[in-house]
With several copies, the nearest count.
Chain A
């Protein structure tokens, strides 16, 4: 239930993947394209992925979440390509018996994804562009 896609992410599809009769809680994180970063107006984002490795790293995150919390199911979808303002870049859904674990596991997953998964984001502004986090 890990996917890199150049098509719009269907949030409902991701949530349905983590349905489980033993789950009482589902936490879903949705990362969307904001219209500004540090006061610059963003026009669009471009995501580039090292697909095979990105999927492997996302699988590691899922396994790691399952080892740390009583996760019933977890799904991680990441978009690539050109995204306009408001579009969905990433969706993570986690189901657990109790809610605290769902929040913790989901937050762990997105925090780790941002540190380890080989995906790169270029912000395009009016009259400029910048690879996020590339420079110190």
Chain B
């Protein structure tokens, strides 16, 4: 299935854009999605951390991706 991914901060810079459309297998988990993304953008592996938020919430790695999910890549936060 096709999913739409938002990227922020250094992840956005590494990926070259804020919005990315990716083709992933149905029933992929967050963990699997992360692996697919890192394969495509190996520089993301150098980050201190990288997590996924779905529908504006942090989620566990076992969470299954659904077609309508709003997916966001969250590199190490540094607000404040």
Q: State yes or no: do A and B touch (Cβ within 8 Å).
A: yes
Residue contact A118 to B47, C-beta cutoff 8 Å: no
Segment of A6-14, A15-23, A47-55, A67-75 in the binding face:
A47-55
Assign chain B's interface to a size class. 20 to 34
A122 interface hit (Cβ, 8 Å) = yes
Q: In the complex, what residues of B have CB within 8 A of residue A134's CB? A: 9-10, 47-48, 75-76, 78
Q: In the complex, what residues of A have CB within 8 A of residue B62's CB? A: none
Residue contact A50 to B6, C-beta cutoff 8 Å: yes
* Minimal Cβ-Cβ distance residue in B for A111: B80
- Asked whether A136 and B48 contact (CB < 8 A) given A53-B57, A131-B9, the answer is yes
Residue contact A117 to B79, C-beta cutoff 8 Å: yes
Q: In the complex, what residues of B have CB within 8 A of residue A116's CB? A: 58, 77
- Asked whether A135 and B79 contact (CB < 8 A) given A50-B53, A52-B56, the answer is no
A66 interface hit (Cβ, 8 Å) = no
Q: In the complex, what residues of A have CB within 8 A of residue B57's CB? A: 53, 56
Docked Cα-Cα span, A83 to B53, in Å, equals 27
Q: Which 8 A-B pairs have the closest CB atoms?
A: A119-B79, A120-B9, A53-B56, A132-B78, A131-B10, A114-B80, A121-B78, A134-B10
